[in-house]
């Protein structure tokens, strides 16, 4: 009996000790939480009872060079539901599905979702939101929002780009300058009980959003429209699916227009006409549609590149205007017959006449005189082995031979713009250096950033310190290329009263056996003080495909519109009157 009592006594002592130890552990834990974890737990408690809803900031406006808004905002609303506050889920589901044009099943799934807050639809018109608000549905939240709007739809689509539903830029200037444009979202704070239901008579607090800053760019809406209309017209007439036009100030690199066709509506950037595509096919189609061919793709420039070969030859003094050449319609280089575009040849001609005739053998001879090392030196000097630095995402870089792989045949074909690839903008930049006094400019759009009051916050500056050729050579090239338009292959760009310089090109695409061509024209005006440079590219024109026939008239039409628009009037001379009568 005594042994039983002793056992029970020990059992009680053991249990009591365990209980005491547990209580001590709990006290230590509580003390630890109260002393060391107090701030953390307080924050968690506040998070449990505080609900946050974002207030979207107003994105900065993009203005053209004349302060015309080309990317703006429209006030809309965002409709959300809070599951714990919904008292009549069926009614909420029915009304929201009808008012918002959504399926009943889609809304029902959102309404039943046990999350803090569930967004039903964004970018809802305020009129519809007001109708829903008047119904006083418990658990339905209507918040202010903004939708990005592009007033000109397709205008400069590849340049401006667009934003996603999160107000972030996706392509173009919208993503390039997103840091300035996006602003900072605000927040609405409300208090709820343990069940997640908002507490009545407790005022909500707001952290106001900070609006984005405005961006002014060099693009001119009127010049852009001229260029888009001109490109659209030539693509239709030549049954071509693709083309590009760039209009730039060669003195400072300001881009007035950049057009690519096909393009897309910035207000519906995800629209694809073919509805039968798989998700992967649709993604690929959109990526192609959004590509900015003027900077994202490379091509063989053909004879427009001859302006670089000619400049290098004159700068190195391996050729002069009066040097004579003979063109039988081809040149024999190593074991290859490389033909001129004129099958019968040009016969005897000076270097000046060779440029006017766009004679391949003349330029092959100049490249041979330069040699591989000096030829590549000028490729570098004209910025053709580097990106232009344009302020758009995704710029490609040229595809060149390695020095050790350049033999006589490669050098000869490079002389007239074949066997390597550059972007259209790289060519335009090099062409600008040829005629602007010899300086490499940085092609660009951004001019400055302003706040909502119009105060300038930042002005963008661009490098013009690199020199490609001397001013003397540049001035000489300007007069040579003016003669190409007045009496040479660029005659279809001639405009009485204006000094226009330029160079045509008809480049054969790879593989050569397909007989597909790119027609292009690089032109500038006034030739003695260039203010506008234009590059026109038409891909795979049907029928006659020569650059002087297809692309040069497009540039002429643009010059006829742009020069008077910029206040550059005609100055008639005796030769102009004669040419006018001939035409």
Which residues is 78 bridged to in the sheet?
143
Q: Which two tokens stand for residue 79?
A: 């409709």
**Strand 214-217 versus strand 62-63 pairing type:** parallel
Which residues is 70 bridged to in the sheet?
none
Q: How far is CA 62 from the centre of its chain?
A: 14
**Tokens 């001129």, located at residue:** 340
* Residue 465 annotated as catalytic: no
Angle at 259 between CA 303 and CA 147, to 5 degrees: 160
Dihedral of alpha carbons 360, 361, 362, 364, sign: positive
Which residues is 144 bridged to in the sheet?
77
- How big, in percent rounded to 5, are the helix, strand and coil portions of the chain? 40, 20, 35
Q: Which contiguous run of DSSP H or E holds residue 554?
A: helix 552-565
Dihedral of alpha carbons 164, 168, 170, 172, sign: positive
Burial of 440 (0-12, 13-18, 19+ CB in 10 A): buried
Catalytic residue among 80, 218, 244, 303: 303
Task: Let me know how long the chain is.
Answer: 583
Angle at 453 between CA 77 and CA 168, to 5 degrees: 40
Q: Which of 315, 321, 319, 318 is nearest to 356 (CA)?
A: 321
Whole-angstrom distance, CA of residue 143 vs CA of residue 76:
9
Contacts of 121 (CB under 8 A, 6+ apart): 78, 79, 100, 102
Whole-angstrom distance, CA of residue 342 vs CA of residue 99:
69
Whole-angstrom distance, CA of residue 362 vs CA of residue 313:
11
Burial of 95 (0-12, 13-18, 19+ CB in 10 A): middle
Q: Which two tokens stand for residue 452?
A: 């909502």
Whole-angstrom distance, CA of residue 290 vs CA of residue 281:
14
Whole-angstrom distance, CA of residue 62 vs CA of residue 150:
10
* Max Cα-Cα span within the chain: 141
Q: Which two tokens stand for residue 520?
A: 């292009």
Which residues is 446 bridged to in the sheet?
217
DSSP assignment letter at 170: -
Distances 526 to 495, 529, 531, 569, 581 between C-alpha atoms, Å:
11, 5, 7, 10, 22
Q: How far is CA 518 from the centre of its chain?
A: 23
Give the active site residues: 303
């Amino acid at each position: 009996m005594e042994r039983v009592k002793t056992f029970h006594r020990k059992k009680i002592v053991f249990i009591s000790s365990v209980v005491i130890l547990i209580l001590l552990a709990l006290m230590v834990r509580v003390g630890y939480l109260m002393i060391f974890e107090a701030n953390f737990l307080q924050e968690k408690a506040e998070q449990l009872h505080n609900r946050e809803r974002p207030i979207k900031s107003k994105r900065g406006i993009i203005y053209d060079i004349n302060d015309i808004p080309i990317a703006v905002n429209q006030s809309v609303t965002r409709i959300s539901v809070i599951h714990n506050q919904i008292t009549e889920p069926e009614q909420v589901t029915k009304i929201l599905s009808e008012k918002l044009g959504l399926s009943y099943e889609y809304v029902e799934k959102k309404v039943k979702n046990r999350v803090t807050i569930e967004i039903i639809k964004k970018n809802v018109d305020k009129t519809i939101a007001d109708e829903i608000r008047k119904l006083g549905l418990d658990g339905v939240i209507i918040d202010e929002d903004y939708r990005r709007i592009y007033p000109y739809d397709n205008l400069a689509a590849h340049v401006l780009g667009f934003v996603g539903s999160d107000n972030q830029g996706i392509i173009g200037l919208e993503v390039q300058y997103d840091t300035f444009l996006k602003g900072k979202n605000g927040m609405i704070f409300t208090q709820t009980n343990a069940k997640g239901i908002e507490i009545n008579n407790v005022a909500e607090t707001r952290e106001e959003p900070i609006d984005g800053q405005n961006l002014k760019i060099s693009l001119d809406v009127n010049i852009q429209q001229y260029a888009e209309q001109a490109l659209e017209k030539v693509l239709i007439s030549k049954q071509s699916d693709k083309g590009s036009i760039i209009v730039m100030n060669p003195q400072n690199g300001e881009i007035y227009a950049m057009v690519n066709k096909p393009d897309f509506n910035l207000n519906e950037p995800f629209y694809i006409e073919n509805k039968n595509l798989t998700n992967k096919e649709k993604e690929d189609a959109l990526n192609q549609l959004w590509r900015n061919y003027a900077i994202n793709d490379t091509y063989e420039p053909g004879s427009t590149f001859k302006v670089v070969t000619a400049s290098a030859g004159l700068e190195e003094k391996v050729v002069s205007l009066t040097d004579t050449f003979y063109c039988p319609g081809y040149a024999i280089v190593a074991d290859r017959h490389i033909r001129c575009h004129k099958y019968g040849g040009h016969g005897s001609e000076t270097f000046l006449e060779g440029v006017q005739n766009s004679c391949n053998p003349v330029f092959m001879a100049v490249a041979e005189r330069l040699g591989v090392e000096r030829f590549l030196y000028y490729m570098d000097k004209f910025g053709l082995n580097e990106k232009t630095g344009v302020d758009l995402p995704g710029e490609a870089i040229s595809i060149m031979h390695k020095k050790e792989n350049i033999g006589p045949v490669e050098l000869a074909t490079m002389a007239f713009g074949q066997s390597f690839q550059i972007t259209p903008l790289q060519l335009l930049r090099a062409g600008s250096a040829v005629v602007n006094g010899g300086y490499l400019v940085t092609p660009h759009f951004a001019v400055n950033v302003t706040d909502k009051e119009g105060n300038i916050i930042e002005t963008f500056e661009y490098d013009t310190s690199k020199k490609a050729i001397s001013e003397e050579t540049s001035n000489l090239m300007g007069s040579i290329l003016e003669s190409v338009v007045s009496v040479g292959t660029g005659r279809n760009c001639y405009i009485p009263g204006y000094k226009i310089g330029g160079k045509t090109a008809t480049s054969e695409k790879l593989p050569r056996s397909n007989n597909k061509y790119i027609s292009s024209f690089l032109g500038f005006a006034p030739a003695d003080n260039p203010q506008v440079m234009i590059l026109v590219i038409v891909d795979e024109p049907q029928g006659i495909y020569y650059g002087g026939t297809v692309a040069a008239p497009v540039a002429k039409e643009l010059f006829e519109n742009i020069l008077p628009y910029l206040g550059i009037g005609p100055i008639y001379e005796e030769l102009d009157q004669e040419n006018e009568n001939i035409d």
